Structure 1
Amino acid sequence: MTDVAQHELSPLDKKITDAFPQHTVRKDLVGDIKGNAVVPTYVLEFLLSQFATTTDALSIESGVKRVQEILAQHYVHRDEATLIQSKIREKGHYRIIDKVQVTLNERLDRYEASFSNLNIRQVVVDPEIVKKNEKLLVTGIWCICRIGYAYTGEKDEVPWRLDSLKPVQMATDDVHNFIEGRKSFSTEEWIDLLMQSIGFNPELFSDRAKLLLLVRMIPFVERNFNVIELGPKGTGKSHIYSEFSPHGMLISGGEISVAKLFVNNATGRVGLVGFWDTVAFDEFAGRSKKAGKELVDIMKNYMANKTFSRGVEQIPGEASLVFVGNTDHDVPTMLKHSDLFEALPPQYHDPAFLDRIHAYIPGWEFEQIRSEMFTDGYGFVVDYLAEVLHNLRDLDYSDRFNPYFELSSSLSTRDKDGIRKTFSGLMKLIYPSGEASAEQIEPLLRLAIEGRKRVKDQLCRMDATMTPVDFAYTKVGAEMPIAVKTFEEIDYPKLYWRQHTDDDESEKAIPEGVLPEAEEQQTINTEKDPSTAQPTLPTMERKQALAKPREVTLEENDRGWSYNKLFGPYVAGAKYLELTDPYIRVSHQMRNLAEFLEMVRNNADPHQPVHVHLITKEDGDVYRAKQQLEMFAQLKHNYAQMGIELTFAFDDTIHDRELRTDTGWKISLGRGLDIFQRYSDKDWLNPETRIQQMRRVKSCTFIYRRDDDALTEQKM
């Protein structure tokens, strides 16, 4: 058996293939069969779906061989065009895989096809084929064709004949089964399934990175969604628009004519926006690029009103517009000297044009694509998923947050439209039934607000007449609004708002009772060797003196927090701690516990052992419960060598999270130890794996108070 066939199913892969047995494929097979065929992924997966949609190793192996044979025999390479033409002539007919485009020959009143790689033209096409596949008339589509040859010697004759044509895309609506299958997955599992479907290994992406990747998919599921992504090279900005869907069109170079995009007034022929779900402009950035005023004006009108004109007639369009390009500078440089749209051509660096953008994807947050980022797991056959998303465009989920949240009244109509369209798209992707709880909806709404805020805040920098608005939402029944900030605003507050000066105080206030950053790095107690201690280093007594009753709130997406900053002064010198956290089960939660134990050790008396007792819940799954016990045993063994005695007990009735110490402190932990947003902990080059302060945090509150009934180990 070959390496291609050998593959061990993960629990997620098994669930995927059980729920969607006819519509999934192993994603690494595409790379194995592609070779040097310059053909979109959806074409290859269409072929794989015919022969290798299975988990049986032998069937996969034979299916892959069959697809490879089909490509070898029927895919037309440009340098072999003459050879294929000869085969057609000698055999009388031959089946090929090529990109086909059709034009109307008005002089002869017939449709004629041209074949991109086969390099033949004027092949007569049956009008019925054109009626069923109108995209043939625009930019062409990939097809499996049977080409015939019949030479009679008549003048101006074209001997080629198109006997049959089958577009490489699905034609069935399977939305109902798609929605039913979704019920078998948790939110995290479903997002991972979508990640694997577009070819990525979800384990190497944080929760936020996954959601941002899904925003790239919204144009395929939401009508008239206008989105821009600017960022460094090599982050895969345009990949999904060229490889993912037969309903998308990628325009290379970013420059296009009015006639090709909207309508040719000379012939009356409608352009790309009349036929495609998504029209993406690659390499859209570039200060030296030109664009005619007429094109920009028509694009403004289309983006705002969803129509374009053909003479006196107004034609509706449903295509979403995507603009992707490379930035020339990093974020702080752009904010210091210009704005986040600075890389755009002058004609598009226009507030009136940019105000019609619904969301700005921060391309600088994506890592450069590496080979290990691609998955070998199972995902949807992309043309199946693309067809489902195409049909989901008929639904509108823009109001599904209304029962739970209200947008700020200061938002303009365009601001609200941008937020609602982004939110609707994310809902269709993640909760295609339209049903979700307030807790599930809130992160999607926040991301939608952030995407539009990034646009509007830059417009306020560019145009002084623009009025800043309050990008916030309020929970229904609550009084206090919840503000949403972009990550650039959080990370570079002095640069983000131009009214700030270099003299402004931009550092986050350090709560009383928390070690300053400089001292946080010196957490290992130097009492091991008093002769080496420096007067400037914090002593145990100084750290304990910083511990005071208080309340500390972490803002969503903030940085700069660590366990030492939150707990260091309160655990300093403790010999016994009791940690109650119901969710210490899976690997990232165990990593949190390990980092907590390290923090305890660094703040303890080096000459005294420390006992940490954990009260948590046992995992309800038998297999995962076994893994949970194994990880506890490993932690207990590893940290015993550092003077930490770890014990634990299960209690399925607990809910609240708290930390108590024998030095008299009781700390209420809003989220327990799970304060950090997920990140790619598989990448050891990622500084977030080693430095807690580099990680984004979740919104939560810590309440510190003295415990009159102080713990002692003997009481337990």
Structure 2
Amino acid sequence: MTDKLRDYFDEMVVYKDLKNNNFFSSLGLPAFLRDYLLKMFSDDFGNFDVDEVSAFVKKFIPKKEDWMSIKNKIIYENESVQILTKISVDINIKTGEISFAIPDFGVTEKETLIEPAIWDVYKEDLINTGETWGIIKLGYRPPDDTVKPKIPGKIKLTGFKNFRPYTVDVEYFKEMRSNFETDEWIDILLGAIDYNADGYETKLQKLTMLTRLLPFVEKRINLIELAPKGTGKSYVFGHISKNGLLTDGGKVTRSKMFYDANRRKPGYICGPDYVAIDEVKLVNFGDENEMRSILQGYLEYGTFNSNGYNGESDAGVVFLGNIKEENMDEYGYMLGELPTLFQETALLDRIHGFVKGWDIPRMNDGLKLTGWALNSEYFCSILHELRNDMSYRAIVEKIVEVPKHADTRDTEAIKRLATAYLKLLFPNVRNEFDVDKMEFRDYCLTPAMKMRRIIKLQQGMIDSEYKNKDVPCLMVRE
């Protein structure tokens, strides 16, 4: 299959040696940056010059502790510095001033500026909701005490190169899917997110792992996953895609998640494709009643009002937590160790599906990929673009039959999950006649109903109103 993959995807394939190559793991780079470097520096056989890569990383991808040195070069040595990082831009409504933040280095909008002439050159790349990755060139505007009001010193942006090293042709990606059997395609998807398909014992393990990608490919999919430690939750949601956001637990308040009135800045939810809240058992949600109220509205409609600020987003919300072995039972109550926020049926009802993380094996050497695979940055850019393709949902509407009196939330959840599975596993379908009905049932519709059923079972253990209520049985039209 390797030859087929390289033949059909050519420039979008890189050699990943995650089992034996400690060089990249020592750098601590996310997968999309690692694959960017592999593509830039590797030859046709996957070999690269370590010194050459090291020099690039040292020059363009500094660590947080290097920021003081960077400031010294910019401010006191009057040098320009270029770094590859993520940047967010803001325009001050009152003054019209344009500023930017570099979140990975703790640089805020108050410390920066983009001069109008520079803005005119780079605004097409920089006007983007949330954060944008790129190589930014930084300089310094010194303070001026001779005028009133005094002009403070600020770091200024003097150049920008967008971080999209590959041409993302979604239509080509769709067409190429037709050259692979479904089992082959499943293995390709696993390789794209750094996993060795041969390291899994069952197809169920493979498909459960790929379920984590549903929020990558479909707007506003809300999931909860409980899994044993070491199954790679944080890696998938935090290192594979530049378009997602993984919070590291701690405190996730209304202002952090939705809108910070003091800073007048939208929260986590605005910008990324998904927000994954890690270690949810340990998260402090602040005022839980307040958080539950705004979260329920957002999970349902994708809109929110916080301190007078009306916001909206397409980001899905994923709740990640560990679970003890004795609690790994969908027919038993699994949410008892979670914050009380989750022990309320109205909130649970707005979570589309439950991922049984214990069906995913713990990370081991056999799961580390060594071989040719789709470039992670390219792959996740494709998934990001597919989020805007409404044709798949139209196909699902045409081929799925809903029983009378079916619960609307259940039906919507199942259809949304099935649509995401369809995009992920069968992106080549263009209309309902392209769909293999049996494969759609087995790989898309049935898994979606199973994920929703677990939510229903957990609701029944909280409130007797939901007890013994099953999800509607959606069928594939013949």
Aligned match for 2:17, one of 12, 16, 28: 28
Cα 1:134/1:323, change in 2 over 3 Å: farther
**Alignment partner of 1:344 is 2:341:** no
Displacement of 1:90: 4.2
Q: Is the 8 A contact 1:76 1:98 kept in 2?
A: no
Displacement of 1:306: 2.2
Q: Provide the C-alpha distance between the structure 1 equivalents of 2:41 and 2:297, rounded to a whole number of angstroms.
A: 46
- The corresponding residue for 2:298 is 302
Report matched runs for 1:46-445 at 5 Å.
Answer: 46-52=36-42, 55-57=44-46, 60-62=47-49, 65-88=51-74, 90=77, 92-102=79-89, 110-115=97-102, 122-126=111-115, 128=119, 129=122, 132-134=125-127, 138=130, 140-149=131-140, 157-158=152-153, 160-169=155-164, 173-205=168-200, 206-253=202-249, 255-265=251-261, 269-286=265-282, 290-309=286-305, 315-331=311-327, 339-396=333-390, 397-398=392-393, 400=395, 406-409=401-404, 411-434=406-429, 435-444=434-443, 445=445
Displacement of 1:323: 0.8
Displacement of 1:357: 1.0
Q: Is the 8 A contact 2:35 2:376 kept in 1?
A: yes
Displacement of 1:41: 1.9
Report matched runs for 1:277-676 at 5 Å.
Answer: 277-286=273-282, 290-309=286-305, 315-331=311-327, 339-396=333-390, 397-398=392-393, 400=395, 406-409=401-404, 411-434=406-429, 435-444=434-443, 445-466=445-466, 468-469=469-470, 472-474=473-475, 476=477
Displacement of 1:225: 0.7
Displacement of 1:345: 0.3
Displacement of 1:29: 6.4
Q: Provide the C-alpha distance between the structure 1 equivalents of 2:105 and 2:222, rounded to a whole number of angstroms.
A: 36
Q: Provide the C-alpha distance between the structure 2 equivalents of 1:416 and 1:190, rounded to a whole number of angstroms.
A: 28
Displacement of 1:269: 4.2
Q: Secondary structure at the match of 2:461?
A: helix
Cα 1:263/1:28, change in 2 over 3 Å: same
Q: Is the 8 A contact 1:25 1:45 kept in 2?
A: yes
What is the letter of the counterpart of residue 230 of structure 1? L
What's the TM-score, normalizing by structure 1?
0.58
Displacement of 1:40: 2.0
Q: Provide the C-alpha distance between the structure 2 equivalents of 1:410 and 1:107, rounded to a whole number of angstroms.
A: 52
Q: Provide the C-alpha distance between the structure 2 equivalents of 1:466 and 1:159, rounded to a whole number of angstroms.
A: 58
Q: Provide the C-alpha distance between the structure 2 equivalents of 1:266 and 1:118, rounded to a whole number of angstroms.
A: 21
Q: Provide the C-alpha distance between the structure 2 equivalents of 1:204 and 1:174, rounded to a whole number of angstroms.
A: 30
- The corresponding residue for 1:612 is none
Displacement of 1:124: 1.9
Q: Secondary structure at the match of 2:161?
A: strand
Q: Provide the C-alpha distance between the structure 1 equivalents of 2:106 and 2:296, rounded to a whole number of angstroms.
A: 38
Cα 1:116/1:29, change in 2 over 3 Å: same
Q: Provide the C-alpha distance between the structure 2 equivalents of 1:402 and 1:81, rounded to a whole number of angstroms.
A: 52
Displacement of 1:279: 1.2
Displacement of 1:312: 7.2
What's the TM-score, normalizing by structure 2?
0.85
Unaligned runs of 5+ in 2: none
Displacement of 1:113: 3.6
* Equivalent residue pairs, number: 458
Q: Secondary structure at the match of 2:159?
A: strand
The structure whose RCO (Cα within 8 Å, separation 6+) is larger is 2
Cα 1:407/1:208, change in 2 over 3 Å: farther
More helix by share: 2
- The corresponding residue for 1:530 is none
What is the letter of the counterpart of residue 281 of structure 1? I
Q: Secondary structure at the match of 1:20?
A: helix
Aligned match for 1:42, one of 22, 32, 44: 32
Q: Is the 8 A contact 1:453 1:471 kept in 2?
A: no
Q: Is the 8 A contact 2:16 2:372 kept in 1?
A: yes
Displacement of 1:109: 5.0
What is the letter of the counterpart of residue 190 of structure 2? M
Q: Secondary structure at the match of 1:145?
A: strand
Query: How far does the alpha carbon of each residue in 1:646-679 deviate from its partner, in whole angstroms, 9 at most, with x for none?
Result: xxxxxxxxxxxxxxxxxxxxxxxxxxxxxxxxxx
Q: Is the 8 A contact 1:278 1:320 kept in 2?
A: yes
Displacement of 1:82: 3.6
Q: Is the 8 A contact 2:328 2:334 kept in 1?
A: no
Q: Secondary structure at the match of 1:432?
A: coil
Unaligned runs of 5+ in 1: 1-11, 478-716
Q: Secondary structure at the match of 1:341?
A: coil
Displacement of 1:105: 6.5
Q: Provide the C-alpha distance between the structure 2 equivalents of 1:344 and 1:276, rounded to a whole number of angstroms.
A: 25
Q: Provide the C-alpha distance between the structure 1 equivalents of 2:476 and 2:93, rounded to a whole number of angstroms.
A: 62
Query: How far does the alpha carbon of each residue in 1:340-379 deviate from its partner, in whole angstroms, 9 at most, with x for none?
Result: 2222201221111001111100012222111331111222
Q: Provide the C-alpha distance between the structure 2 equivalents of 1:226 and 1:458, rounded to a whole number of angstroms.
A: 16
What is the letter of the counterpart of residue 452 of structure 1? R
Q: Secondary structure at the match of 1:272?
A: coil
